[in-house]
C-alpha cells in the first residue's frame, strides 16, 4: 500500500503546479491507497498527517512530492522511521527546484509533476527495507589550517574531549589575523586577542600541532579517513629548538619577509614572527647559502641547543581521523597584472592593505610608525582605493570581498591616530557596513577622524614631483578628481588561499567559480562539505570577517563533535550487494571499484564469488554496470528501479509527440 | 494544446549535476519543461542499456550529466561513464538512432546557469534531430 | 618578399607627409613591399560620415577593403584612426548580413572585406626581426629614453580591434628596445590627447595634452613616440599653445615610430622630416 503526499510548500509549488490535480492523478495509480495535498509537508502537522496515514491505512511505502531530496530526504526518512516504517521505503519527487521554480506555464508544470509522480510510484514498488549499518568512527579530528578559523575549531573540538591534529603549512599558526594591527569596529589589538588562543592550541593536551606540514593524500570515508601528512624539512629539530633567535641574528643570507607581506626582509633561517607558535626557527633552503653551493654552517655552529640538522629529511605521517575540518582561509588577490594603470607594482609607495597593516603594527617592519617604503618619510596624504580586484567585471572578478569597506575605514581611522595632521581619502563604490556596530564605525571614520570618502573608482596612479597622483572620478559630484598622495593603499580582494583547489580535490569536495570551497547547502548546511565527514570553517568557504569566521568555525566544531560523540556512525545501506547464485567469479566488479570494496570469496563448493565489504563500499554503482551476468546490484538504485522510472515517466500522454516509425 | 513537448530523459549524478539542477531552480532559471530527471548516485551507474531502454520506450532524447574531470565524488565514476557512453554514441547510428538525440555533458553543483543553458541547448538539438529524422 | 596594400589615408598625404616618407624608408630597409591602394578614399573617420549618418561610416572603409581584396598579404593603415575605421567596418560587415547586402548594392558587387587589416606596429612586428634590427641600428637611440604613446583608437575598443592590452599596450616596446632606446613605464600611454576636440573646444585638448607631456617628463622621457597623426598634432603642434596658456616651457619632441626607427637605422633628421616638427630641437643624443 503506497501513500502519496504532495507538498504545496506555501505557494512555492502550488503557484505553478496544481497539487490537487496531481494528487487526484496519483490516487488512481496502482497501489496508491491514499493521496493528499499538504500545505507544508515538512512541518510538524505535515509530518503528523503522513504518520497518521501510515498507521491508519497500513501503508508500507511512501512517495512525497516536494522539494529536492537533497533538502529533505533525511527529514522524511526519519518521519517514516518514527511511524514504524523502514526509512528506505520512501521515494521523493523533486517538484520544486526541478519543476515549479523553473517553469511558468501551470499546465506544463502540472503535467511534468504528474509524470514525475508516476515514475516515483512505480519506483517505490521495488523498494525493499534496508538496514543502516553502524560502523565504528575514529575519535580524532583533523583540522587543516592554523588561522583563527582552524584555531577556534580545534579548541572547540578538543574541549569536548575529542583529540585533534592541526596541520599548518607555514612555520607558525596564527594565519592572516596574526598580521593585522587592530580589528574593526572595536579597534582592539588583533594579536592581543589571538595570541592567547595560539598558545592554548600549543599547550592543549588534546591537540597535536604539526606545523611546516601539508596534507598529501586523503583516503577512506566519513568516520575512517586515512590521511598522509607531509612534514617538510626545515633543518631544525623542533624538539630541541628553544627559539633563542641566535641563528636568525647571525645568518648572513637575506630572504623575503613573508609575514610582513614582503616589506622589509628576513633571513634564510628565521622565526616567522616574534609571537610565533611554536616559537621555533625554520630554514628556507632556497635562500640558504649552504644549499646554494656555499660551505656556510654558521647557524649549526652557533646553535646552543644543537637543533640544526642540514640532513633532515621530509617525512610522511599516516594518521586516522573520523572527521576533517578544512580551515585554509584566504589570500589577498595579486592585483599587479590586472591593474597596469595602478603601476603594476613599480611604485614602492603603492602598497596593499595587508602591507599597510604591517606598517601600522607595532611588531611590523617600522615598529608601528607609518613610513612610506620609498624613502621612509612619514606620509601626510594617504589615499585608499577600495575594490581592487573586487566587484570589477573588467578583470573578471564580480565578487565582493565583504571586508574591504570596513578594514579600509579602520585603516583610515588608524592613519589619523598615528599621524594627527594627516589626511586620509577613500575612493569607494558603496559603503558596505552590514555588521553589528559597523555602520556607526564607518560614520565615525568620517565625522570624528575626518576621512574624506569619494564615491568612484580610481583610473590611474602616476608620479608627479615625488608624489603619486591618484586620478579618479567623483561620481556624486560628476567630476574628475586628482589627489596628490604620499602613500596609496589598495584594498585588494580576497581569494581562496593558494592550493585550496588542490586540497578540495583530495577531500573530494567542490569549489565555486571564485575558488572557494562549497558548502552543502547555502542556508541550512553552511559548514558541511558535499563529502560526508568533511566540514568547512572560515574564509575557505567564502570571504568572512573575524566574528563570522569564529562563528562559522564553532559551528563546524559542533558538527564534528556531534558526529564523533557516539563513537560510531550510521553508514548508508545503499551499497552494492552480490547475488552469489548469479556471480560468475569474473571479478570485473573488483577491477572497476574505486575503493577496493570488493573481495574474493569462496562458496562452500569452492566456487569463487565476489563479496562486497559493506563498510568500504560507498555506493557509486560503477560495478553494477560492469557486471556481465547482472549479479551485483546497488541497493536503492537497482536496474529494476531505474527501468521502472524510465518506463513510467515516458508513458504516452495526450499532447506528447510520439515516435513515428512509419 | 501547445506544441508537443520534446521529452528528454536526464540521468544526473547526485553530487554534481543533480545539485546543479537544484541550483538552477534556486536561482529561478527558466528552462524548457521536457526534461525528466532520473537521479543516480554517479554517472558511472548509468548503464548504456538504460539509455537504449529510454529510446525504446519513446524518449525523444537522452542526456547523461556528471561531474567535471577530477570532481567525481567517487574519484573515477565519470571517467567510466565517459568511456562507456562515448562508445554507445558511436554505436547509435548502427541501431538507427540519430546520435544527436543522445548527449553526455558535465555540470557541477555550482553551475546552475550552465545547467539551464544545457537544458535549453539540448532540447533544441534533440528537437531539430527529431524534426529531421 | 611580403607585399602589402598601403592605405595612407588623408593625413599621410597632407599633414603627416613625414610619416609617409619615414615609413617608406624603413619599409624599404627591411624589404617590405608597399603597394599604394589604387583609387583609395576617405577611411570614414572624418566628421562627414558621422554627421551624414546612415551607412556612410561603413561604406567608405568597406570600399577600401574591397579594393584591397585579396591581392596582397594584407592592408596596412599607419594612421591609427584609419586602422580603427577599417577594423570597425570589417567587424560590422562580418556580423551583419543585411549591412553586407546593402554594401554590396552600393559597390555593385558582393563586398570583399576579409583581407587582413594591420596597423603599423603590427606590420613592423610581423616583418622585422628584432635581432636584425639591433644589428643594423647605428646606436643613435642608445642612451635615449623614449615614451611610447599609443593613444586610444589603436587598441580600443578591444573587442573590435583585437590588438594588444587596452590598458597597457606594449607592442611598440620590443622594436624600440632592439633599436637601442630605453623604454620606461609610461602611465599615460593610452590617456586621451583631446582628439578632434581641438577644432571646437581647444582648451580641452590643451589640458589633456599638457598632462601627457607633464607625466612624460616626470618619467624622464627624451621624446614621445606615436603612430597616430592626430595625437602627434595635439602633442607637438600645440605644444607652444600649451606653453602660452599654462606658462610652461615644454620642448618635448614627438616622433612617429618610423622616424624613431629611421634615426636608429642611420637616416638623418632631415631625411625623416623631423626638422619640420614644431619641436624640432633634436633630443640631445641625435
Place of cell 574624506: A452
pLDDT at site C100: 95
A618 shares a domain with A602? yes
What domain count does chain C have?
2
Domain for residue A645, yes or no?
Answer: no
- In this prediction, residues A637-643 reach a mean pLDDT of 95
* CATH code, A628: 3.30.70.3270
- What integer best gives the mean pLDDT of chain B? 92
- In this prediction, residues A399-408 reach a mean pLDDT of 97
CA-based nearest residue to A333, from A515, A488, A173: A515
Whether residues A346 and C167 touch (CB distance < 8 A) is answered with no
Domain for residue A662, yes or no?
Answer: no
pLDDT over threshold 50, residue A483: yes
Which residues of C are less than 8 Å from A340 in CB distance?
165, 167-168
Place of cell 598529501: A216
- Looking at residue A345, the DSSP 8-state letter turns out to be T
> What pLDDT band is residue A236 in, cutting at 50, 70 and 90?
very high
What residues of chain A have any CB closer than 8 angstroms to a CB in chain C? 339-341, 343-344, 346, 460-465
* End residue of a domain, out of A461, A492, A523: A492
∠ at Cα B16 (B15, B21), nearest 5°? 110
With an 8 Å Cβ cutoff, is B86 touching chain A?
no
A429 shares a domain with A363? yes
Whether residues A657 and B60 touch (CB distance < 8 A) is answered with yes
Query: CA separation (Å) from A255 to A249, A251, C55?
Result: 13, 10, 63
* End residue of a domain, out of C71, C93, C118: C118
Whether residues A346 and C185 touch (CB distance < 8 A) is answered with yes
A618 shares a domain with A581? yes
pLDDT at site C46: 79
C197 shares a domain with C243? yes
- In this prediction, residues A178-188 reach a mean pLDDT of 96
C196 shares a domain with C94? no
A195 shares a domain with A160? yes
A353 shares a domain with A324? no
C19-45, pLDDT tens digit by residue?
999 999 999 999 999 999 999 999 988
> What pLDDT band is residue A613 in, cutting at 50, 70 and 90?
confident
CA-based nearest residue to A542, from A563, A511, A521, A571: A511
> What pLDDT band is residue C164 in, cutting at 50, 70 and 90?
confident
Domain for residue A183, yes or no?
Answer: yes
Beta-carbon contacts of C247 under 8 Å, excluding residues fewer than 6 positions away, are none
Cα nearest neighbour of B19 on chain A: A70
pTM of the model: 0.77
Chosen for mutation from B25, B96, B107, B110 (greatest number of chain A CBs closer than 10 Å) is: B25
A598 shares a domain with A464? no
∠ at Cα C74 (C71, C77), nearest 5°? 120
pLDDT over threshold 80, residue B133: no
* CATH code, A398: 3.50.50.60
Q: How many Å lie between the alpha carbon of C219 and the closest alpha carbon of chain A?
A: 8
3-class secondary structure, A317: strand
Whether residues A343 and C165 touch (CB distance < 8 A) is answered with no
Q: Where are the alpha helices (DSSP H) in A538-638?
A: 546-564, 588-592, 622-626
* End residue of a domain, out of A438, A469, A492: A492
C250-265, pLDDT tens digit by residue?
999 999 999 999 999 9
Cis check for the bond before A278: say yes or no (omega within 30 of 0). yes
* CATH code, C198: 3.40.50.11810
Whole-angstrom distance, CA of residue A414 vs CA of residue A173: 26
Question: Which structural domain range is residue C263 located in?
Answer: 130-276
Q: Ranked by mean pLDDT, which of A145-154, B70-79, C52-61, C215-224 comes out on top?
A: A145-154
C226 shares a domain with C163? yes
pLDDT at site A283: 96
A360 shares a domain with A449? yes
* B vs C contact (3+ beta-carbon pairs below 8 A): no
Q: How many Å lie between the alpha carbon of A342 and the closest alpha carbon of chain C?
A: 8
Q: pLDDT exceeding 70 applies to what percent of chain C? A: 97
Which residues of B are less than 8 Å from A643 in CB distance?
50, 53
C155 shares a domain with C94? no
Domain for residue C125, yes or no?
Answer: no
pLDDT at site C281: 65
Query: CA separation (Å) from B59 to A172, A527, A648, B86?
Result: 60, 40, 11, 19
C252 shares a domain with C162? yes
Beta-carbon contacts of A476 under 8 Å, excluding residues fewer than 6 positions away, are A455, A456
Which residues of A are less than 8 Å from C187 in CB distance?
341, 343, 460-463
Q: How many Å lie between the alpha carbon of B77 and the closest alpha carbon of chain A?
A: 6
Domain for residue C64, yes or no?
Answer: yes
A69-90, pLDDT tens digit by residue?
999 999 999 999 999 999 999 9
- In this prediction, residues A358-380 reach a mean pLDDT of 95
Whether residues A340 and C168 touch (CB distance < 8 A) is answered with yes
C136 shares a domain with C249? yes
Q: How many Å lie between the alpha carbon of A475 and the closest alpha carbon of chain C?
A: 20
Which residues of A are less than 8 Å from B129 in CB distance?
none
A323 shares a domain with A286? no
Whether residues B25 and A574 touch (CB distance < 8 A) is answered with no
Whether residues A620 and B73 touch (CB distance < 8 A) is answered with yes
> What pLDDT band is residue A388 in, cutting at 50, 70 and 90?
very high
pLDDT over threshold 60, residue A655: no
Cα nearest neighbour of A465 on chain C: C218
Beta-carbon contacts of A510 under 8 Å, excluding residues fewer than 6 positions away, are A504, A517, A518, A529, A530, B16, B71, B108, B109, B110
pLDDT at site C285: 44
**Is residue B59 a contact partner of residue A650, using CB atoms and an 8 Å limit?**
yes
A78 shares a domain with A96? yes
Q: Could you tell me where the beta strands, DSSP code E, fall in chain C?
A: 3-6, 33-36, 75-76, 117-118, 146-148, 223-226, 254-256
The shortest CB-CB distance from A103 to any of B7, B33, B130 is to B33
Domain for residue C27, yes or no?
Answer: yes
Q: How many Å lie between the alpha carbon of A440 and the closest alpha carbon of chain C?
A: 38
Q: Which of A159-168, A345-354, A624-633, B2-11 has the lowest mean pLDDT?
A: B2-11
The shortest CB-CB distance from A98 to any of B37, B48, B53 is to B37
Domain for residue A640, yes or no?
Answer: no
∠ at Cα A428 (A422, A430), nearest 5°? 135
> What pLDDT band is residue A574 in, cutting at 50, 70 and 90?
very high
Whether residues A109 and B40 touch (CB distance < 8 A) is answered with no
The shortest CB-CB distance from A620 to any of B44, B47, B50 is to B44
Which residues of A are less than 8 Å from B7 in CB distance?
650, 656-657
With an 8 Å Cβ cutoff, is B102 touching chain A?
no
**Is residue C224 a contact partner of residue C252, using CB atoms and an 8 Å limit?**
yes
Buried b / exposed e along B117-132 (16+ C-beta atoms within 10 A): ebbeebbeebbebbee
Which residues of C are less than 8 Å from A460 in CB distance?
187-188, 191
Query: CA separation (Å) from A354 to A361, A407, B112, B127?
Result: 11, 10, 34, 55
Question: Which structural domain range is residue A35 located in?
Answer: 2-132
pLDDT over threshold 70, residue C138: yes
What domain count does chain A have?
5
C265 shares a domain with C161? yes
Domain for residue C281, yes or no?
Answer: no
Which residues of A are less than 8 Å from C168 in CB distance?
340-341, 344
* B vs A contact (3+ beta-carbon pairs below 8 A): yes
Whether residues A510 and B109 touch (CB distance < 8 A) is answered with yes
C249 shares a domain with C137? yes
Whether residues A637 and B41 touch (CB distance < 8 A) is answered with yes
Domain for residue A460, yes or no?
Answer: yes
Q: pLDDT exceeding 70 applies to what percent of chain A? A: 98
> What pLDDT band is residue A654 in, cutting at 50, 70 and 90?
very low
**Is residue A153 a contact partner of residue A556, using CB atoms and an 8 Å limit?**
yes
- What integer best gives the mean pLDDT of chain C? 92
pLDDT at site A594: 86
Chains touching chain A, criterion 3+ CB pairs below 8 Å: B, C
Whether residues A460 and C185 touch (CB distance < 8 A) is answered with no
pLDDT over threshold 60, residue B2: no
A8 shares a domain with A125? yes
Domains of chain B, earliest start first: 8-132 (3.40.50)
pLDDT over threshold 90, residue A220: no
> What pLDDT band is residue C120 in, cutting at 50, 70 and 90?
very high
pLDDT at site B3: 55
> What pLDDT band is residue B130 in, cutting at 50, 70 and 90?
confident
* End residue of a domain, out of C118, C151, C167: C118
The shortest CB-CB distance from A462 to any of C165, C168, C188 is to C188
pLDDT over threshold 70, residue C286: no
> What pLDDT band is residue C283 in, cutting at 50, 70 and 90?
low
Domain for residue C110, yes or no?
Answer: yes
Domain for residue C283, yes or no?
Answer: no
A380 shares a domain with A256? no
Domain for residue A661, yes or no?
Answer: no
Q: pLDDT exceeding 90 applies to what percent of chain A? A: 89
C175 shares a domain with C138? yes
pLDDT at site A510: 84
C139 shares a domain with C114? no
Whether residues C185 and A344 touch (CB distance < 8 A) is answered with yes
- Distance between terminal CA atoms of chain C? 32
Whole-angstrom distance, CA of residue C156 vs CA of residue A83: 69
Q: Which of A89-98, A215-224, C249-258 has the lowest mean pLDDT?
A: A215-224
A11 shares a domain with A119? yes
Domain for residue A644, yes or no?
Answer: no
pLDDT at site A653: 55
Whether residues A108 and B29 touch (CB distance < 8 A) is answered with no
The shortest CB-CB distance from A464 to any of C168, C185, C218 is to C218
Domain for residue C91, yes or no?
Answer: yes
Which residues of C are less than 8 Å from A346 in CB distance?
185
Domain for residue A543, yes or no?
Answer: yes
C192 shares a domain with C241? yes
C256 shares a domain with C163? yes
Amino acid at each position: 500500500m503506497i501513500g502519496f503526499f504532495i507538498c504545496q510548500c506555501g505557494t512555492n509549488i502550488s503557484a505553478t503546479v496544481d497539487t490537487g490535480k496531481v494528487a487526484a492523478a496519483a490516487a488512481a495509480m496502482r497501489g496508491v491507497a491514499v493521496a493528499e495535498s499538504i500545505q507544508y509537508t515538512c512541518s510538524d502537522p505535515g509530518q503528523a498527517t503522513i504518520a497518521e496515514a501510515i498507521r491508519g491505512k497500513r501503508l508500507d511505502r511512501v512517495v512525497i512530492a516536494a522539494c529536492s531530496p537533497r533538502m529533505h530526504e533525511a527529514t522524511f526518512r526519519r518521519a517514516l522511521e518514527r511511524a514504524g516504517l523502514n526509512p528506505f521505503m520512501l521515494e521523493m519527487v523533486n517538484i520544486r527546484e526541478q519543476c515549479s521554480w523553473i517553469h511558468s506555464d501551470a499546465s506544463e508544470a502540472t503535467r511534468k509533476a504528474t509524470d514525475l509522480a508516476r515514475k516515483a510510484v512505480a519506483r517505490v514498488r521495488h523498494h525493499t527495507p534496508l538496514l543502516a549499518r553502524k560502523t565504528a568512527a575514529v575519535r580524532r579530528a583533523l583540522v587543516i589550517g592554523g588561522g583563527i578559523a582552524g584555531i577556534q575549531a580545534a579548541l572547540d573540538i578538543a574541549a569536548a574531549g575529542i583529540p585533534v591534529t592541526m596541520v599548518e603549512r607555514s612555520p607558525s599558526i596564527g594565519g592572516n589575523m596574526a598580521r593585522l594591527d587592530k580589528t574593526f569596529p572595536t579597534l582592539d589589538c588583533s594579536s592581543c586577542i589571538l595570541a592567547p588562543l595560539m598558545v592554548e592550541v600549543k599547550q592543549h593536551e588534546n591537540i597535536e600541532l604539526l606545523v611546516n606540514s601539508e596534507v598529501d593524500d586523503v583516503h577512506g570515508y566519513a568516520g575512517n579517513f586515512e590521511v598522509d601528512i607531509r612534514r617538510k624539512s626545515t633543518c631544525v629539530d623542533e624538539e630541541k629548538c628553544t627559539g633563542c633567535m641566535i641563528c636568525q641574528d647571525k645568518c648572513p643570507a637575506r630572504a623575503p619577509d613573508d609575514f610582513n607581506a614582503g616589506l622589509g626582509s628576513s633571513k634564510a633561517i628565521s622565526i616567522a614572527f616574534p609571537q610565533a607558535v611554536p616559537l621555533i626557527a625554520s630554514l628556507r633552503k632556497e635562500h640558504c647559502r649552504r644549499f646554494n653551493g656555499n660551505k656556510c654552517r654558521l647557524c649549526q655552529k652557533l646553535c646552543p641547543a644543537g637543533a640544526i640538522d642540514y640532513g633532515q629529511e621530509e617525512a610522511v605521517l599516516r594518521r586516522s581521523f573520523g572527521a576533517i575540518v578544512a580551515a585554509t582561509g584566504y589570500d589577498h588577490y595579486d592585483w599587479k597584472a590586472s591593474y597596469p594603470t595602478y603601476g603594476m607594482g613599480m611604485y614602492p609607495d603603492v602598497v596593499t592593505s595587508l602591507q599597510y597593516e604591517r606598517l601600522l603594527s607595532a611588531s611590523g617592519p617600522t615598529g608601528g610608525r607609518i613610513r612610506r617604503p620609498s624613502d621612509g618619510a612619514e606620509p601626510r596624504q594617504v589615499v585608499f582605493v577600495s575594490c581592487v580586484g573586487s566587484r570589477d567585471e573588467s578583470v573578471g572578478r564580480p565578487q565582493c570581498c565583504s571586508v574591504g569597506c570596513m578594514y579600509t575605514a579602520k585603516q583610515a581611522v588608524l592613519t589619523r591616530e598615528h599621524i594627527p595632521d594627516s589626511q586620509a581619502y577613500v575612493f569607494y563604490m558603496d559603503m558596505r557596513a552590514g555588521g553589528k556596530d559597523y555602520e556607526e564605525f564607518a560614520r565615525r571614520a568620517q565625522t570624528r577622524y575626518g576621512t574624506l570618502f569619494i564615491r568612484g573608482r580610481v583610473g590611474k596612479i602616476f608620479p608627479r614631483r615625488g608624489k603619486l597622483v591618484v586620478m579618479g572620478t567623483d561620481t556624486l559630484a560628476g567630476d574628475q578628481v586628482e589627489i596628490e598622495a604620499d602613500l596609496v593603499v589598495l584594498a585588494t580582494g580576497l581569494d581562496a588561499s593558494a592550493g585550496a583547489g588542490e586540497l578540495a580535490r583530495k577531500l573530494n569536495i567542490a569549489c565555486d567559480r571564485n575558488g572557494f570551497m562549497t558548502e552543502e547547502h547555502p542556508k541550512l548546511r553552511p559548514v558541511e562539505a558535499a563529502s560526508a565527514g568533511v566540514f568547512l570553517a572560515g574564509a575557505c568557504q567564502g570571504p568572512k570577517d573575524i566574528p563570522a569566521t569564529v562563528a562559522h568555525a564553532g559551528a563546524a566544531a559542533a558538527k564534528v563533535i556531534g558526529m564523533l560523540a557516539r563513537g560510531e556512525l550510521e553508514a548508508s545501506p545503499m551499497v552494492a550487494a552480490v547475488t552469489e547464485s548469479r556471480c560468475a567469479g569474473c571479478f570485473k566488479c573488483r577491477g572497476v571499484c574505486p575503493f577496493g570494496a570488493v573481495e574474493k570469496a569462496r562458496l562452500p563448493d569452492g566456487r569463487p564469488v565476489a563479496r562486497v565489504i559493506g563498510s568500504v563500499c560507498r555506493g557509486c554503482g560503477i560495478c553494477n554496470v560492469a557486471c556481465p551476468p547482472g549479479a551485483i546490484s546497488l541497493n536503492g538504485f537497482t536496474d529494476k528501479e531505474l527501468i521502472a522510472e524510465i518506463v513510467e515517466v515516458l508513458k504516452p500522454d495526450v499532447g506528447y509527440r510520439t515516435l513515428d516509425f512509419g | 494544446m501547445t506544441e508537443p513537448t520534446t521529452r528528454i530523459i536526464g540521468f544526473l549524478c547526485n553530487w554534481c549535476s543533480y545539485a546543479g539542477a537544484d541550483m538552477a531552480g534556486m536561482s529561478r532559471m527558466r528552462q524548457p519543461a521536457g526534461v525528466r530527471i532520473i537521479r543516480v548516485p554517479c554517472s558511472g551507474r548509468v548503464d548504456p542499456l538504460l539509455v537504449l531502454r529510454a529510446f525504446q520506450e519513446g524518449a525523444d532524447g537522452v542526456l547523461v550529466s556528471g561531474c567535471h574531470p577530477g570532481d567525481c565524488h567517487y574519484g573515477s565514476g565519470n571517467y567510466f561513464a565517459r568511456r562507456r557512453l562515448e562508445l554507445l554514441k558511436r554505436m547509435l547510428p548502427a541501431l538507427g538512432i540519430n546520435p544527436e538525440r543522445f548527449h553526455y555533458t558535465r555540470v557541477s553543483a555550482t553551475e546552475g546557469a550552465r545547467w539551464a543553458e544545457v537544458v535549453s541547448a539540448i532540447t533544441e538539438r534533440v528537437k531539430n534531430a527529431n524534426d529531421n529524422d | 618578399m611580403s607585399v602589402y596594400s598601403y592605405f595612407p589615408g588623408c593625413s599621410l598625404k597632407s599633414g603627416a607627409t613625414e610619416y609617409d616618407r619615414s615609413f617608406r624608408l624603413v619599409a624599404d630597409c627591411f624589404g617590405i613591399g608597399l603597394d599604394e591602394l589604387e583609387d583609395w578614399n576617405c577611411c570614414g573617420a572624418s566628421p562627414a560620415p558621422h554627421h551624414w549618418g546612415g551607412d556612410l561610416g561603413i561604406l567608405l572603409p568597406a570600399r577600401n577593403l574591397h579594393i584591397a581584396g585579396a591581392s596582397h598579404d594584407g592592408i596596412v593603415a599607419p594612421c591609427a584612426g584609419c586602422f580603427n575605421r577599417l577594423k570597425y567596418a570589417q567587424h560590422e560587415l562580418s556580423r551583419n548580413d543585411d549591412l553586407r547586402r546593402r554594401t554590396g548594392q552600393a559597390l555593385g558587387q558582393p563586398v570583399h572585406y576579409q583581407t587582413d587589416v594591420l596597423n603599423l606596429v603590427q606590420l613592423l612586428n610581423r616583418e622585422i626581426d628584432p635581432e636584425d634590427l639591433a644589428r643594423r641600428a647605428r646606436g643613435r637611440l642608445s642612451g635615449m629614453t623614449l615614451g611610447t604613446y599609443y593613444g586610444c583608437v589603436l587598441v580600443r575598443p578591444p573587442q573590435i580591434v583585437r590588438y594588444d592590452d587596452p590598458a597597457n599596450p606594449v607592442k611598440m616596446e620590443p622594436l624600440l628596445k632592439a633599436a637601442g632606446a630605453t623604454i620606461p613605464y609610461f602611465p599615460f600611454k593610452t590617456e586621451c590627447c583631446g582628439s578632434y576636440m581641438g577644432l571646437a573646444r581647444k582648451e580641452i585638448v590643451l589640458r589633456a595634452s599638457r598632462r601627457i607631456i607633464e607625466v612624460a617628463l616626470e618619467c624622464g622621457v627624451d621624446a614621445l613616440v606615436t603612430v597616430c597623426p592626430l595625437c602627434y598634432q595635439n602633442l607637438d603642434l600645440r605644444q607652444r599653445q600649451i606653453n602660452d596658456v599654462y606658462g610652461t616651457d615644454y620642448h618635448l619632441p614627438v616622433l612617429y615610430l618610423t622616424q624613431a626607427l629611421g634615426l636608429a637605422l642611420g637616416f638623418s633628421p632631415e631625411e625623416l622630416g623631423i626638422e619640420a616638427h614644431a619641436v624640432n630641437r633634436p633630443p640631445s643624443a641625435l
